[in-house]
């Protein structure tokens, strides 16, 4: 990965706010993933407590730099929790604190990268019969006709599935392991792997590394969120691994 700002760090779980990809006028995936967050030592009750775990709270507020490209004052709180069962939970709360009384609209997402044995041994379940926007074809709308998503190592896979279930499973047959993505507040989900040719154009991917991850991303894309001053929006993603 490249760790030099303003380059986004590839890996982990990037936060996509206030724009998913290039769906608006901002740089791709917005600016939150490129900012330094502060630890919030006085957690807000806007995010419910999560039992049986240890948490750290982060806070991001709009800066003068942000206001130049997105003129809206916001407060973004994120609680990261590791439970006693080994599950990872990201709970988010975004509030409009605009003193001028202006509403704002945003799209949002998390972009987790899941390490797998080989993309050819992976299946994603939960998308059967759903409509999706194919990002390899200018977001043309189609309907998924397969019960299980599989991948061709030579082809880019990049789809926004719409009105998805709250639970999505990633089956890694090579490692005999299943990832479970549980989500609340995220109506949509992206499934992505760059494939061989596209991976060659990504400078912070090593040769052949595209084969060893898949991204399954809880997102809000089709129907953006609008907040009036004082209003808040909450969402939650929970990741677990079962062998």
Structure tokens at 35: 């900012």
Annotated catalytic residue within 217, 222, 231, 238? 217
- Calpha distance 21→222 (Å, rounded): 12
Annotated catalytic residue within 49, 111, 123, 238? 111
CA angle 89, 225, 82 (to 5 degrees): 5
Cβ neighbours of 206 (radius 10 Å): 9
Based on the residue annotation, tell me whether 209 is a catalytic residue of this protein: no
Residue 159: helix, strand or coil by DSSP?
strand
Structure tokens at 175: 């490692």
> What DSSP element (H or E) covers 195?
helix 195-199
Q: Which residues contact 133 (CB under 8 A, 6 or more apart)?
A: 139, 140, 141, 159, 160, 162, 221, 222
Based on the residue annotation, tell me whether 123 is a catalytic residue of this protein: no
- Calpha distance 203→187 (Å, rounded): 31
Active site residues: 111, 217
């Amino acid at each position: 990965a490249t760790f030099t700002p303003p380059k986004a760090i590839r890996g982990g779980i990037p936060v996509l706010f206030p724009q998913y990809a290039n769906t608006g006028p901002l740089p791709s995936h917005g600016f939150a993933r490129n900012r330094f967050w502060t630890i919030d030592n006085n957690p807000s009750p806007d995010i419910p407590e999560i039992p049986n775990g240890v948490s750290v709270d982060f806070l991001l507020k709009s800066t003068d730099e942000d206001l130049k490209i997105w003129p809206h004052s916001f407060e973004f709180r994120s609680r990261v929790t590791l439970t006693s069962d080994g599950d990872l939970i990201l709970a988010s709360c975004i509030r409009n604190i605009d003193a001028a009384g202006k509403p704002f609209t945003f799209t949002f997402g998390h972009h987790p990268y899941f390490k797998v044995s080989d993309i050819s041994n992976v299946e994603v379940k939960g998308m059967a019969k759903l409509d999706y926007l194919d990002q390899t074809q200018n977001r043309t709308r189609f309907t998924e006709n397969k019960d299980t998503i599989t991948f061709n190592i030579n082809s880019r896979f990049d789809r926004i599935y719409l009105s998805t279930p709250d639970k999505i499973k990633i089956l890694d047959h090579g490692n005999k392991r299943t990832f479970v993505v549980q989500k609340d507040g995220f109506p949509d989900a992206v499934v992505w792997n760059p494939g061989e040719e596209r991976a060659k154009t990504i400078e912070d991917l090593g040769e052949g590394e595209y084969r060893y991850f898949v991204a399954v991303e809880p997102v809000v894309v089709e129907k953006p969120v609008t907040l009036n001053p004082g209003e808040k929006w909450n969402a939650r993603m929970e990741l677990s691994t079962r062998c």
